[in-house]
Amino acid sequence: MIEVERLTKRFGSTLAVDDLSFSVAPGTITGFLGPNGAGKSTTMRAILGLVLPTSGSTTVLGRQYRELEMPLLRVGALLETFDAHPGRSGRNHLRVLAVAGGIPRSRVDEVLALVDLGAAGRRRVKGYSLGMRQRLGLAAALLGDPEVLVLDEPANGLDPQGIRWLRDFLRSLASEGRTILISSHVLAEVAQTVDDVVIIHRGKLVRHAAIAEVDALAAGSTTVRSPDADRLLELLVSAGLDARSVGEGRLEVMAPSEQVGEIAASAGVVLHELSATRATLEEVFLELTGEPGERGGA
Amino acid sequence: MTRVFAAELLKLRTLRSTWGFALVALLLAGLATAGHIGGTQAQDRLDPEFQFQIVLDAAFPAAVLSLLLGMILVTNEFRHGTIARTLLATPRRDRLVAIKLLAGAATGAGLMIVTLVVTASTAVVWLGILDVPLKLGEGTEAASRAFVGVVLAGILGAAIGGAVHSQVGALVGALVWIFVAEPLCWALLGLLDVGGAAEYLPAASLGGIVDSGGGGLPFAGSVAMALAWTAVATVLALFRTSRRDIT
C-alpha cells in the first residue's frame, strides 16, 4: 500500500533520510515515530511527491504519487506546515481542493461538519486557532474520502480535548479499513491507535514492529521476594529466564510477573512479594532512539 | 486540466486581493481615459489616432497589473505554503506550470475586459457630450491589440512567478526591471549606437504591442518578442518548479 524503498534524501550537506525502507500494509494504522528532526516529515513528503528523493523510491497504491490519477480521491494528507491561504475562508479552501481533485462539492460541508468546523467554515483562515487549523487540515485530507491517509504530526497544537478527539477520530477511520501512516514524536500519543510502529532516528530505521512487540519491550522486569529465594532462583534459571539475586531474599527476573508467579506457584514456593517493574513506552522509545551516551544519562 | 484550471480561477475569485486588482484596474482605466480626453485639444480629438490611443493608454496600467497579478497567482502559493496542497491535487509539476500560465492569461483577459468596459463607457459618454463622432473601427483595433498585450503580460507574469517563486523578489524585480533597469538598458544601448536593440527587451516588446506609435517594432514583431520572452521564462519556471523540494 505504501512502500518506501531505500530512500535517501540529502539537503545540501545534511543527510535527512538515510537508506530507509519500510512498508505499510493495507488496512493498518502505522505510527511513524522518531524525535524531532529524525526525517519523518521529509519521508512523508517524499511519499507524497513533494520532496524529490536523492536516491531510492516511494510508492503509494503501487505507483509513485505523481503518477496517480485523481490523487485526492486515493490519498489524503495532512502536512505539518499549514497549507491554506490565510485570506481565504476554510470552506473556500476546501472548495478549491474539491474542484481541483474532482471531488463533489457536497463533500466540503460534510467534512467541515465531520471535523466540527461547520460554524467556522465561512470565516477567513487567518482567524483560526491552531487547533482549528489542524482540523481544517484533517478535513482537507478526508475530502476525497481516500483509502490511504498520510498524517504528519496531526496532534500538534491540539489541546488535551483535541488530542482525545483526534484519537477517537483516527480509531473511527481505522475501523473503516483505511490505511493510515501517522507520524509523531510522542509514542504514547499514538500507541493506543496504531497496529505497527516504524521508528526512525537520524534518518535511519531503528525498528519496524507491531505495537505489541514494543509494548513487550516495556514489560521490563519483575522483582520477587521469597524465604526460599535460592530454590526459586534455580527454578527460574532452569526455566530459561534471566534471573539474579539482589540480596535479602530478593530476585530480579527479566520476565513478566505472571510468568514468575506461575513458576513459583507450580513448585509450591512461598512468595512475600511479586512486583512488576514496567518501563513507560516513552522510556522504550528513548531507549530505541537514544545514542549510547544519552542512554546512560551522561 | 479543466478542473485544475477551474480551481485556479476559483482561487482567484475567493481572494480579496484579486478584486482589489480589478478595482485598481477600473480606477486607472477611468483616470487614463479621462486624462487622455481632457488633455487633448478639441481639434486633435478628430484625429483618427485619437480614439485608437485612448484605448492603448488605458491598456498600459492594465498590462502592468496583469503582469503583477500573474506573478502573484504563482508566488502566493510559495509565500503561503499552499503549493504543497496544490501539488497534492496536481502532482505533475509541468502540468501545474501550464495551468498557471493559462490562469495568467485568464487574469489578463479579465483585467482587460474591466479596462475596456470602463474606457468605452467613459469615452462614449464624454465624447458624446463633446460631440466627437465615435470611430468603432479604430477602437476595435486598439482593443484587440490591447487585449493581446494584457493577456500576454498575464502569461509572462505567471511564468516569471514560476521561475522566481519569491513573491517579493518577483514583484520588486519586475518593477525595478520595467521602471529602472530597462530604461537604463535603453540609454546604454543608445550610447553604444545600437538603440534599436532595446525594442527587443521584455517591457519594450510588451509595450510595442499596445503602442505602435513609438517607432518601435511592428505589432507582429512585438508579439513575437513577447512570446519569446514568455517562452524563456516558462522554461525557467518548468526547470525551477520541477526540481524544487516542497518542505
A225-268 pLDDT tens trace:
999 999 999 999 999 888 888 888 899 888 888 888 999 999 99
Give start and end residues of each alpha helix (H) in A148-228: 160-175, 187-191, 211-218
Cβ contact (<8 Å) for A81 and B84? yes
Tell me which residue in A68, A83, A89 faces B85 most closely, judged by beta carbons: A83
Selected residue with higher pLDDT from A278 and A127: A127
User: How far is B60 from chain A, CA to nearest CA, in Å?
Assistant: 29
Please give the residue of chain A at the shortest CA–CA distance from B81. Answer: A83
C-beta of residue A31 within 8 angstroms of C-beta of residue A211: yes
Which positions 87-106 of A are in contact with B (Cβ < 8 Å)? 87-89, 92, 95-97, 99-102
Choose the mutation target among B11, B88, B243 for the interface with A, i.e. most A CBs under 10 Å.
B88
* C-alpha torsion A151→A152→A153→A158, nearest 10: -60
C-beta of residue B1 within 8 angstroms of C-beta of residue A69: no
* For residues B34-39, average pLDDT: 84
pLDDT score of A110? 95
The percent of residues above 90 in pLDDT, for chain A, comes to 55
Cβ contact (<8 Å) for A45 and B15? no
- Asked which of A43-47, A285-289, B225-229 is least confident by mean pLDDT, the reply is A285-289
CA distance A154 to A259: 39
Cross-strand pairs, A75: A148
DSSP A89: B
pTM of the model as a whole: 0.84
ipTM score above 0.95: no
B102-143: pLDDT as tens digits: 999 999 999 999 999 998 888 888 888 888 877 777 778 888
Q: Which stretches of chain B sit within 8 Å of chain A by CB? A: 3-4, 6-7, 10-11, 14-17, 76, 80-93, 243, 245-247
Please give the residue of chain A at the shortest CA–CA distance from B76. Answer: A85
Which positions 181-220 of A are in contact with B (Cβ < 8 Å)? none
Mean pLDDT estimate for chain B: 89
Q: In what order do the strands lie in the sheet with A273-277?
A: A243-247, A250-253, A221-225, A273-277
- Does the pLDDT of residue B36 top 90, yes or no? no
Cβ contact (<8 Å) for A97 and B84? no
CA distance B186 to B193: 10
- Asked which of A205-209, A220-224, B83-87 is least confident by mean pLDDT, the reply is A220-224
Mean pLDDT estimate for chain A: 88
Out of A216-225, A284-293, B14-23, B90-99, the most confident range is B90-99
pLDDT score of B185? 93
Cβ contact (<8 Å) for B245 and A50? yes
